[in-house]
Structure 1
Amino acid sequence: MRKILIDLTISQEEFLSWYQGHAKSVLATSRDGRSVSFPAKILQPYVTREGISGAFEICFGADNKFSSIRKVD
């Protein structure tokens, strides 16, 4: 399983735009410089009043499809 580590800071307003369907995926750059695109909906459990902030580990299966996400310290 492939893993990628990303740092995100997304305002509540920006995430709301994704959540309402104006954009369906998030494009981010990993700590090692790779670009990754993933469905915005996977971030929903991590939304606070301030938005989304922190480091996240995203796992992908052999088919490069999203498998899991977790917030890391």
Structure 2
Amino acid sequence: MARIVIDVNLSAFKYKEMYKGTVKNLVAHSRDGRKVQLPLIAFQKFVTHHGLYGSFEVEFDENKKLIGINKIS
């Protein structure tokens, strides 16, 4: 299994625009420089009325399939 850490700073307005529009994925760079694309819906439980902010540990299986996301700060 692989794990990466990403930092996300997405205002509530921007999240809402992404969520209701045609954008279904969040594209981010991990702290080690890798570019990842993750389903926006996977972050839904971390969204507050302020938006989506924080550092997240993302876990993948050997086939690069998303296993889980945990907020770390």
TM over 0.5: yes
Residue type matched to 2:13 in 1? E
Residue type matched to 1:37 in 2? Q
Instruction: Give the secondary-structure state (helix, strand or coil) at the position aligned to 1:42.
Output: helix
2:68 corresponds to: 68
Q: Matched residues in 2 for 1:67 and 1:17: separation? A: 26
Displacement, 1:54?
Answer: 0.6
Q: Matched residues in 2 for 1:55 and 1:30: separation? A: 10
Superposed CA RMSD in Å reads 0.9
Mapped pair 1:28 → 2:50: no
What's the TM-score, normalizing by structure 2? 0.93
- Cα deviation, 1:22-57, whole Å, max 9, x if unaligned, reads 201110011111101110001100111110111000
What's the TM-score, normalizing by structure 1? 0.93
1:16 corresponds to: 16
Displacement, 1:62?
Answer: 1.1
Runs of 4+ in 1 over 3 A off after TM superposition: none
Instruction: Give the secondary-structure state (helix, strand or coil) at the position aligned to 1:19.
Output: helix
Mapped pair 1:7 → 2:7: yes
1:32-47 alignment to 2 at 5 Å? 32-47=32-47
User: Percent identity at matched positions?
Assistant: 37
Q: Matched residues in 2 for 1:40 and 1:21: separation? A: 11
Q: Which runs of 5+ in 2 are unaligned?
A: none
> How many residue pairs get matched?
73
